[in-house]
Amino acid sequence: MKNKTVECIFNEINNAKKILIVSHVNPDGDTLGAMCALKLFIGKKADTLIQNLTGAPETYNFLPEINLSKNLNNVDDIYDLVICVDIAAIDRVVQKARWIFDNAKMTINIDHHKTNNGYAKINWIIPDASSAGEVLFNMLREQDVKITKEIAECLYVSILTDTGGFRYENTKPETLEAAAQLIKLGVDNADLAKKCYNTKPKNMIMFQAAIISKTQFMFNNRVALAAIAQEDLERFNANNEFTEGIAETLRTIKTVEVSAVLKESESQTTKVSLRSDRVDVCQIVKKFNGGGHIHAAGCTIKKPLRIAQEMLICEIEKCLGL
């Protein structure tokens, strides 16, 4: 049986003349994969938006049609329909995109974050799904949409990256079934894994080595905290992607229960990314209006790096029951 909300979403897509598909800030494989899959399905009348000034992150440059994406400099003003993919909260949409969202006749929110509060006019949130890509895959299948090889590749990248290569516990039987279906549709899984994981710039690894080497370990090595200052970013000519994976690397240390990466951004604000295998880090970032998943969450603290760090350590300490 077809779900009414899903049917409603496809009706809106059919009826709209001009559609904008929005991925979240600091885009990852899931948001970009889902965005490109949806673009391939909708076609010409859809624009895709990456919410930065410089376009697609290098790692995901291979995704079909990603290079047609608009950025905040060249996106149009008015769209009938705005679709957010993998966007847990409306504050993951920056000012200009928010204006477009607020002024659209219709808005749709396709996501899998438990913390998603349903900020759009139509919301389709499946908290048990591994990724926005898995949610979208099931929507397309339910509506008997022909999933081309290119669409399948995008959806596979979503699922692969959001499950950490099928290692996280969000990898359910349904997730693997979806991945299997996508491989049957022609996806070269080994090739996509290589493209997602083994194409890092040399400078990124050198930058990460420098940051990891000055990690602070606290509470008997139960907490690892890496703080990235503006000068670190400048020294390695780092872009946004360079910090990706540091928190995961620190989490692989046997004693570490919570790993934290703090990044100083220009305007006296600090971006925080938390990882844990054992602790609900989403509870920690909620104190700072953040969001995410139990084992991977993030927030922005409007304080300078050192102060943000103290505030965060305090919350982590409480969470660990210390």
Q: Which residues bind Mn ion (CB under 5 A)?
A: 30, 86, 131-132, 162
Least Å from the CB of residue 30 to Mn ion: 3
Structure tokens that stand for 300 in this block: 């922005």
Beta carbon of residue 85, minimum distance to Mn ion (angstroms, whole number):
9
Structural tokens at position 95: 């000012």
**Cβ contact 149:32 at 8 Å:** no
Contact present, 12 and 120 (Cβ < 8 Å): no
Q: What's the sign of the alpha-carbon dihedral 294, 297, 303, 307?
A: positive
Task: State the minimum distance, in angstroms, from the CB of residue 81 to Mn ion.
Answer: 21
Residue 95 beta carbon to Mn ion: minimum distance, rounded to whole angstroms = 23
Please report the DSSP string for 60-99 in residue order: GTTSTTGGG-B-TTT--S--SEEEEES--SGGGS-HHHHH
Please identify, using beta-carbon distances, which residue of 161 and 243 lies nearer to Mn ion: 161
Closer by beta carbon to Mn ion, 162 or else 257 = 162
Element (H, E) at 283: helix 281-286
- Return all residues near 126 (Cβ < 8 A) that are at least 6 apart: 111, 112, 134, 135, 138
Identify which of residues 201 and 245 has a Cβ nearer to Mn ion in the complex. Answer: 245
Residue nearer to Mn ion on the CB measure, 12 or 30: 30
Residue 139 CB, shortest distance to Mn ion, in Å, is 15
Residue number with CB closer to Mn ion (222 or 251): 251
Our CB check for Mn ion shows the closer of 50 and 132 to be 132
- Looking up tokens 């290119």 gives 150
**In the numeric block, which tokens belong to residue 70?**
């608009």
**Which of 26, 208 has the CB closer to Mn ion?**
26
Q: Least distance to Mn ion from the beta carbon of 86, Å?
A: 4
Minimum distance of Mn ion from residue 17's CB (angstroms): 29
Distance CA 146, CA 186 (A): 13
Q: Is 305 exposed, middle or buried (0-12, 13-18, 19+ CB in 10 A)?
A: buried
Distances (CA, A) of 198 to 33, 60, 165: 18, 12, 13
Q: Report the nearest approach of Mn ion to the CB of residue 220 (Å).
A: 32
Distance from C-alpha of 296 to C-alpha of 317, rounded to nearest angstrom: 17
Cβ proximity to Mn ion: between 134 and 232 the closer is 134
Supply the minimum distance, in Å, between the C-beta of residue 132 and Mn ion: 5
What's the rounded Cα separation, in Å, for the pair 87 and 220? Answer: 35
Instruction: Compare residues 86 and 257 and give the one whose CB is closer to Mn ion.
Output: 86
Of all residues in this chain, which one has the CB nearest to Mn ion in the complex?
30
Contact 48, 70 (CB under 8 A): yes
Contact 2, 145 (CB under 8 A): no
